[in-house]
Structure 1
Amino acid sequence: MIPQQITHYKPSLTPQHKHELIRTIAVAMFSSIEVHITLYSTDGDITFTGTFTQLDKAFRRLKIDTIDGGLWVNFDDLLNVQVIYCY
């Protein structure tokens, strides 16, 4: 029997959701606010916490600092960005 390969497809984002992502990223970068980030991956979505520190428009990517260090993520792989509110 041949094992089935499970494929995780990337959901398509609505223009409104993309606009909300951009707005949330801009506010988070300007204010240095920590966010929960969900990225698409073929093996399953990845969620982590970090702070946006740089924007690379030429390559459509963002640098995110996490407790494990910095990493670059492609804007097109972002599924969700949620600001962490501290009161």
Structure 2
Amino acid sequence: MKSSANRENEKLAKVLSEALQDQKFIILKIYDENGDRQITGLITQIDQEFRRLKVSHEDGIDWIPLDDLLSAEIAINYTESFN
């Protein structure tokens, strides 16, 4: 039987993979010692060697460590342009 942590990790991996493959906007909740933050953007790369995501969003581009991700969900009906 899988632990709830394993199920959560599998769910997170599936959402991240779908967002990257289908270029869907994603809402990421990220741990920050000064207070958790949220980013909505597009995943442009998943770096498995360094366990991080490259995310393009309205304020630029960030590399997000996978270990800092608290949650991820596909942003339904989100159509913001970064141009």
Which residue number corresponds to residue 21 of structure 1?
A: 12
Match of 1:30 among 3, 6, 21: 21
Q: What are the superposed Cα offsets for residues 23-57 of structure 1, whole Å, 9 maximum, x if unpaired?
A: 00000000000011100111211112011001111
CA distance in structure 1 between the aligned counterparts of 2:33 and 2:60, rounded to whole angstroms: 23
Which residue number corresponds to residue 10 of structure 1?
A: none
Q: Percent identity?
A: 31
CA distance in structure 2 between the aligned counterparts of 1:68 and 1:41, rounded to whole angstroms: 17
- Give the TM-score, by structure 1 length: 0.80
From the CA coordinates, give the structure whose radius of gyration is larger. Answer: 1
Q: Count the aligned residue pairs.
A: 75
- Aligned-residue CA RMSD in angstroms? 1.5
Q: After TM superposition, what 4+ stretches of structure 1 lie above 6 angstroms from structure 2?
A: none
CA distance in structure 2 between the aligned counterparts of 1:48 and 1:57, rounded to whole angstroms: 20
Give 1:86 shift.
2.2
